[in-house]
Each structure stands twice: as C-alpha cells, then as structure tokens.
C-alpha cells in the first residue's frame, strides 16, 4: 500500500517535472520572439536622419545685443524656444501688458461660445471712472464685445478692460482671480494679477518670460483674432484712437501685440513678427521712453531673424521603434510625434544630435495621446527643444489569461 502510494507520487512528480520541463522550452520560443520584436533602447546620442535639412550656413552668430532695459527675451513662437534673454524671470510691473491676459480670457470665452462678439456689454460707473488710458466709453451705454476688444488691444483702454472684466466675472476682483487661474494653467509661474488693467499694485507683477508664454498662446490658440493686434487705429464715438506700437508703422514683419507704461514699469512692449516660416516674440521691460522700447525691441527681432533659422526636423507620426506592451490586447504599440517637429537654430554648421528618453516597455492600458517619453534635440551641448513622444494608438487591457501569460513571460524575461 505504501509502496503503491509512493509509486503514484513518483509518477506525479515525473509528470509535473515533464510539464515544467516543457514550459521553459515553450516560453523560451515565445520569449525569443518577444525579444526579437521588442525595440532596442535608443542610443543616448544618435545623429539625426540624413534627410533632414543640412545646417551648413556659414554665418557665425555674434553675442546677443545688449539692451537698455530692465529685462528682455526673444522666443520662437512655434516651439517656445528661448533664443536669447536677460533677467527674463525677474518679477516686474507689467503695466498695460496686463491687458493681454484680459484679452486672452475674452478670446477664450468667445471660442467656447460663452461670449459672442456681438454680445452687448453694459458700461458701469466703476468702469467709466477708471483712470489712465481710455476708450472714452459712456456710463450706462452698451458696447459690443468686438468693439471692447479694439479698445482693450488697440487703444489700451482701462475703461474697456474693466467693463469686460465685470461682464465676464461680475466684478474686477473676481476677474483678477480668474486671471490668476488662467496664468497658472498656461504655466506663468511668476505672475500675479490684481486688476484687469495693469494699474500699479504691489502684488501685481509678471516677468518677460511669462508674458512671452501668454503672447505665444494668443498667437497660436486664436489666430482668428490675430488681425486685431496688428490694427494701427480705430474710431469710437468719432474719436480716432491710434495703436501705440510704433513697430507696426516701421517694420512690415511686425503684426502685434501690445505696449505698456507706468512710472513703476517704465516703457514696455511685447511684439510678434513673422519672416518666412519663422515667427518670433520679443518682450522688452523697463525702457526709458516710447521711442526706446521700439528701438530695443527692434534690436531683438533683427538679431533673431538675421542669426537664426527655423528647420523642419520630423513629420508627425511614428518613430522607427514600436514599444512592447505588457498585459494588453496588443503586444506592441506605435510611438511618435503628435505634430511636426520644428527647431529654431543658430545659423552655422554644428551637427544636431538627439537624445531619446523612452522606456523599453509599458503596462496596459495605454491611451492614445498618452505621453510615454521625450526626444531632446541638441546642437553640441545646447538643448534646443524637447518634444514629447506619445502613444499613437489605444491598447486596452487584456483578459485574465492574457495578463497571466504576459506575467509568466515577463518573469522569465527579467531573469535574463
């Protein structure tokens, strides 16, 4: 009896051993297939594909211009690259450049269908009494949103800005809270607003960098409003009201955006200009006069257009390597760029390299558009632009047995 039971147990052990002996062979063939299909982790430094435009322009890039201003910055509007800057994160009074945020929020509400351009806005006594630059609104009258926007952007009217703020949020104080929420959403980390106009307040500040971020969103998010910022004048109540941006009259490349001035802020400007495929945003804070802010801003734009070039590096779509997915209905997914990749580069012949930061595998589920890694384009030691690498397709989680099988395969992969 004991001998028979022992024999049965030995038989079961041999059967189990045989099954276990087969498992590595079966899994091994599967593991080999997965290992061959899985993408290799990209090299840290890898030359860009040869079909990219060669950067063989001989012009050497000189030192950036030195400006008579408190702080300044030159940014590529397409990529957000900062080309040159000085104290661009220094908190300073933004004066009427504040109205770029007031206008952006109005454009946002219009795009959402919450603020049609023909909407009548009632002018309160508070708006009418606001000092400083004016659109010359009349208390108790109604003005269409489209006309108020002209008063805010072209004339820099404080009365128009307060009327818009009160219409959107009920009061200027509540609107200021909305401005701060929007600033955080846009990544303006060193900005704080206390009013819709830019009138002086100790807790009302921004930076050249933050204002460039805001200008970039205005240009890229709502191009249908771009012509407003390029308009040289408008007439309201039979009063001709000119744009104070002198560069609109001097440089055909310039098509916006806004000027500002208070005693505390000095003379400031945020300008947008386009030449060929390249659009630049220049921010100059704290100059000494209306002429000076135009001259100093022009220096930045001239430097950018003369010594930098925008290159199309990649088309949107997948990169060469697929990514291994564990526990999903698919074993692999395509990873790549959501949109075409551009970089604005100093003219010269320094080679470009890429650094790809991407895991060798991911766990399901994976959502289309989910950021999985990034690619950094470098010129020598300088990082020019970092582009997210995203999932280009959806991968749902597999059923129980699919997940179980992948966990077994993954276990043996990790052993080796």
Which residues are marked as active site? 96, 99, 156
Q: Which residue, 320, 316, 312, 318, is CA-closest to 339?
A: 316
Q: What angle do CA 227, 230, 233 make, to 5 degrees?
A: 105
Q: How far apart are CA 199 and CA 93, in angstroms?
A: 9
Neighbouring C-beta atoms of residue 383, cutoff 10 Å: 12
Please list, in sequence order, all residues whose beta carbon lies within 8 angstroms of the beta carbon of residue 270, skipping any fewer than 6 positions away: 97, 100, 211, 212, 215, 257, 258, 259, 281, 282, 283
DSSP strand pairing (308-314 vs 341-346) = antiparallel
Q: What is the DSSP string of 11-64?
A: HHHHHHHHHHHHHHHHHHHHHHHHHHHSPPPPPSSEEPPTTSPP----PPP-PP
* Residue 274 is assigned to a ligand binding site: no
**Cross-strand pairs, 353:** 47, 378
DSSP strand pairing (317-326 vs 332-337) = antiparallel
Neighbouring C-beta atoms of residue 338, cutoff 10 Å: 16
Q: Which residue has the tokens 């079966």?
A: 26
Annotated binding residues, written as ranges, equal 258
Annotated binding residues for substrate, written as ranges, equal 258
């Amino acid at each position: 009896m004991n001998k028979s039971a022992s024999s049965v147990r030995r038989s079961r052990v041999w059967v189990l051993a045989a099954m276990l002996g087969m498992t590595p062979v079966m899994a091994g063939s599967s593991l080999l297939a997965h290992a061959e299909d899985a993408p290799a982790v990209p090299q840290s430094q890898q030359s860009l594909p040869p079909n990219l435009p060669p950067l063989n322009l001989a012009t050497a890039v000189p030192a950036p211009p030195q400006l008579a201003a408190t702080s300044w910055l030159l940014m590529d509007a397409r990529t957000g690259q900062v080309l040159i800057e000085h104290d661009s994160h220094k908190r300073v009074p933004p004066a009427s450049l504040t109205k770029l945020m007031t206008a952006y929020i109005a454009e946002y509400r219009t795009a959402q269908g919450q603020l049609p351009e023909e909407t009548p806005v009632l002018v309160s006594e508070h708006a009418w009494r606001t000092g400083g630059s004016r659109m010359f609104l009349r208390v108790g009258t109604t003005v269409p949103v489209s006309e108020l926007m002209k008063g805010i952007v072209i004339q820099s009217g404080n009365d128009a800005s307060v009327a818009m703020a009160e219409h959107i949020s009920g009061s200027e104080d509540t609107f200021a809270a909305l401005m701060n929420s929007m600033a955080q959403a846009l990544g303006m980390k060193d900005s704080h607003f206390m009013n819709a106009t830019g009138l002086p307040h100790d807790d009302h500040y921004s930076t050249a960098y933050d204002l460039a971020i805001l200008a970039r969103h205005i240009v890229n998010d709502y191009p249908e409003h771009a012509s407003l910022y390029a308009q040289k004048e408008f007439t309201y109540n039979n009063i001709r009201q000119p744009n104070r941006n002198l560069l609109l009259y001097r440089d055909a490349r310039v098509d916006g955006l806004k000027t500002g001035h208070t005693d505390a802020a000095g003379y400031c400007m945020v300008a947008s200009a386009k030449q060929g495929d390249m659009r630049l945003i220049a921010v100059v804070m704290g100059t000494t006069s209306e002429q000076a802010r135009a001259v100093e801003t022009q220096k930045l734009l001239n430097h950018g257009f003369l010594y930098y070039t925008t290159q199309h590096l990649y088309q949107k779509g997948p990169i060469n390597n697929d990514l291994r997915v564990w526990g999903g209905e698919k074993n692999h997914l395509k990873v790549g760029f959501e949109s075409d990749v551009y970089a604005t580069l100093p003219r010269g012949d320094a080679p470009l390299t890429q650094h790809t930061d991407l895991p060798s595998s991911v766990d399901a589920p994976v959502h289309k558009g989910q950021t999985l890694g990034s690619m950094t384009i470098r010129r020598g030691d300088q990082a020019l632009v970092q582009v997210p690498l995203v999932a280009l397709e959806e991968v749902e989680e597999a059923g129980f047995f699919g997940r179980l099988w992948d966990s077994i395969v993954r276990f043996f992969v990790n052993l080796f």
